Each structure stands twice: as C-alpha cells, then as structure tokens.
Copies of this chain bind each other. A is one copy, B any other.
C-alpha cells in the first residue's frame, strides 16, 4: 500500500475540513477515495467539489462495504461514533474517529473491544495533543522529575457561544442531538489533555448548570471538583456563557508548578528539593525551598488535524506512533460522564461509576429532548 485510501464519513464542518486537507495534499500518506453523508445537499457539494465520478455514498455502510478504502474517518454526530466504528472494524478497516469517542462509556467500551478484536489501527482526533505546550507538560509530569501531583486547576471558560450558535441546528444543545453541552461539544480536548497529563481522578463532584446562559437543554456552565488516587485535588471549570473567559491550566507538584496560559505559554517553577521533604525537615516556620522560574521553549509548529491524520497513516503503513490511541478516548468521556452523573445525582461519583445508571439517566433526558432521534442522526 503506497498511500492509505481513506473514506470520510460525514461531510459537516469537520468532515469538510478533513476532505479539503487531504485533497490539498496536506496529508502525505493519505488519499481520499470515498465520502458519505445522509444529507443530499452535502452529497451534492461533495460531487461538485470532488468531481462527478468520485464515489459519494448516501449511507455509511455502502462506503464501508465498497472495497475502495483501507480506513475511515468518522465525523458524524457523537452518538453514532461507536456504532459506525464497530461496523468498520468488522469490515477489516482501520478507524480514525472524531472526538468525543461517543456519548456514554458503555458504547465506547464496545467500540474499544471491537477495535482490539479486529487488530486494526484505531486512532482518535485529539489534535490538541500536537500542541507542544501540552506535550511538554505531559512529558514533565509523567517523567517524574517534578514529583507527584498535589493539585490541578483548569479554568477553561473561553468558549463563548451566542444563542445564534445554538439556534443554528435543531440538534444543537439537546440531549438527543449532542448528548451533552460544553462537556461533550467544546471540552473533549481539554478533558483528554487533563487526564493525559494529570491522570484519572478517583472521584468527582460536579455542578453542571443546564441552559444557564442559553435557551438549551444541556449544560453550558460547569464547576467540577476532583480527587485523585494519591489524594491530590483538582478543579475543572468551563462555560460557553462567558466572554472573554479564561484558559489557565495549573498543576502543583512536589517539586514544582506548571502554569499554561491560553494554551501557548508554559511557566515552569522548579524547586531544588521536594517541598514535602522540606516541609517536614525545615527548622523554620516560614522557611521556603529554593525555586527557579523559566518560560518553556515552545515549538511553533503545531500540525493539529493533519498531524493526527499523517500519524494514523504512518502507523498503518510503517508502524509509527499515533498521536492518540483510539482506546484512550474513553478517559476524557469517563470524566465528562462522571461530571454529568454527579450533577444529576447531586452527589460525589466514584470512578469507575455505574455505567448502566449513567445510561438510564441519560436516556431519561433523551426521551424528554426536543430533538427526535431521526433528526439527530443526520445533523452535523
């Protein structure tokens, strides 16, 4: 195989961007060989853009069974990600899935199992992992030279959206259409990076406010408190109702502190000793360990989506590393599901949580949703 032959499933905002990136030659090892969308208008756009003889399918199963592709990129509404991925794995295809990996972890586990069983390559579009700020934070924390995490804080409130945004599609801001609000639509990248860099908490207490700033069913304002297995605590705060908002991610560790402002600058405070040790052994009540501060050198290049796609092709062709393994997509979703469930039950939720209970609670909200399932299926 000289290049990976890719079929794009879903020609909405993201699908269109991916199609253009490939046809522009921005993903060296990939060629576009098929697309599909349930919408006749979008298929007409694709036929116009890709030429009259290009394979444009009305149904993703036709594309999957077409024989002209090695891999699919799934860019349809959130609920359908696992189901379509499972079909693709069954057909022996590699899968690159848009975020979030799904709406509820139960369906994502089935997808992960299908991926493992198939032996095919499974990747997820966590394009913010290509940002060298976050890569450096991941390396510094997981490398261990800063010691254990003591506290985390991410204030990510710069997702301002107007009423017009939510009014732009019937499915937007609904339980049946999106399966959640800011946690499912805007925050999957941050939730993934949060767990990738800081690890998973053992329990979560969240306060989600539905339709607080907008006329929507789902949450547009969240404050979550987390506790980690080692006793560290953390907060995650987000909103689509605030302008200018803030993007500030801070991690306190035994031997330092990392502060990332706006995703493009990282300050590293490094102590000359473990503060836990210093706290116990210093003879001075107001003593302090020595601390140096440096601004980390950040690489300008950030390939984002095309970087994820090229890495996916590189894995298929040559066994190279992925940007994000597909099965890791469940972690950020566990965080957002736990935040939803905590807020719905008005109590602290242990991780792992009761996934059947989560689904039952979600389905109550879907049943009352103004969006109907048929409309939700063809929506992005």
Binding site for B on A (CB under 8 A): 150-151, 153, 155, 157, 160-166, 168, 205, 207, 209, 212-214, 221, 223, 225, 227, 231, 233, 235, 237, 239, 241-246, 248, 250, 252, 257, 259, 269, 271, 275-276, 278-280, 282-289, 291
Cα of A5 to Cα of B340 in the assembled complex, Å = 60
On whether A223 and B225 interact (CB within 8 A), knowing A151-B239, A164-B282, A278-B162, the answer reads yes
Note all chain B residues with C-beta closer than 8 A to A209.
231, 233
Given contacts A150-B241, A160-B275, A243-B271, 4 further A-B pairs with CB under 8 A are A160-B288, A207-B233, A243-B275, A245-B257
| CB–CB B288/A163 < 8 A | no
Contacts of A221 in B (CB 8 A): 233
Please determine whether A162 and B291 come into contact, CB atoms closer than 8 angstroms. no
A288 in contact with B243 given A162-B278, A225-B223, A278-B162 (CB within 8 Å):
yes
**A234 vs B26: C-alpha distance in the bound complex, in angstroms?**
44
Does the CB pair B155–A285 fall under 8 Å? no
Given contacts A157-B252, A164-B284, A283-B164, contact A243 B289 (CB under 8 A): yes
What are the residues of chain B within 8 A of A163 when measuring CB–CB? Answer: 279-280, 282
- 7 A-B pairs with the lowest CB-CB distances in the bound complex, closest first: A165-B285, A162-B282, A243-B275, A164-B285, A162-B279, A242-B252, A244-B291
Q: Which residues of B contact A280 (CB under 8 A)?
A: 162-163
- Asked if A212 and B225 sit within 8 Å, CB to CB, the answer is no
A244 to chain B minimum Cβ distance, whole angstroms, is 5
With A250-B155, A285-B168 as contacts: A231 and B214 at CB distance below 8 Å: no
Q: How many copies does the complex hold?
A: 2
A288 vs chain B, min Cβ distance (A): 6
Provide the residues of chain B in CB contact with A276, threshold 8 Å.
Answer: 213
Query: Secondary structure at chain A's binding surface: helix, strand, loop or mixed?
Result: mixed
Which residues from B are CB-within-8-Å of A259?
246
Q: Indicate which residue in B213, B269, B291 contacts A279 across the interface (CB closer than 8 Å).
A: B213
Q: Is B269 a contact of A244 with CB atoms below 8 Å?
A: yes
Given A233-B207, A246-B250, A257-B244: A151 in contact with B162 (beta carbons within 8 A): no
Say how far A222's CB is from chain B's closest CB, in angstroms.
Answer: 9
Indicate which residue in B151, B166, B205, B242 contacts A242 across the interface (CB closer than 8 Å): B151
Contacts of A225 in B (CB 8 A): 207, 223, 225
Which of B164, B269, B282, B285 is in CB contact (< 8 Å) with A287? B164
Q: How far is the CA of A129 from the CA of B231 in the complex (A)?
A: 35
Complex contact B205–A231 (CB within 8 A) = no
- Chain B residues with CB under 8 Å of A250's CB are 155, 246
For residue A231, which residue of chain B has the nearest CB? B212
Complex Cα–Cα for A235 and B287 (A): 28
Known contacts A155-B250, A284-B164; is-contact A275 B242 (Cβ 8 Å) = yes
A285, B223: Cα distance in complex, Å = 24
A155 to B284, CA, bound (A): 25
A286 contacts which chain B residues (CB < 8 A)? 161-162, 165
Question: Judging by beta carbons under 8 Å apart, are B214 and A279 in contact?
Answer: yes
Residue of B nearest to A227 (CB): B207
Residues of B within 8 A of A227 (CB): 207
- A287 in contact with B157 (CB, 8 Å): no
Residues of B within 8 Å of A242, CB to CB, are 150-151, 252, 275
